[in-house]
Amino acid sequence: MENSKQLIKLSNNDNVLVLTVDLNVGDVFTYAGTDYKVAEAIALGHKIAAKSINEGEKIIKFNMSIGSATRDIKIGEHIHLHNMKSDFIDTHTRES
């Protein structure tokens, strides 16, 4: 696992990174050799895509599926209820 000041990958198999700070629009950082530019403000504790994730693909955090992508998600994009659904509780999805 690799860590940085801005985020952490909780398990080697995760396809998300968890923010350890608030990020603002335009912030730029490098993680594991990949450059990221923040397109929207993202709060501490939220997730971004560590890689491109296709619609229907499982969202993996801490080596466990926490849901599925409801649309294609670009690398570095914020992952939350607007683009994923819980595989466990139907109410944990927000329609756009």
pLDDT over 50 at 1, yes or no: no
Q: Is 57 or 36 the better-scoring residue by pLDDT?
A: 57
pLDDT in tens, 48-72: 999 999 999 999 999 999 999 999 9
List domains and CATH numbers for the chain: 7-85 (2.30.130.110)
**pLDDT tens digits, 2-24:** 456 788 999 999 999 999 999 99
pLDDT at 33 over 90: no
Across the range 76-84, mean pLDDT stands at 93
In the chain, beta strands by DSSP E: 7-8, 16-19, 28-31, 34-37, 47-49, 58-61, 64-69, 78-79, 84-85
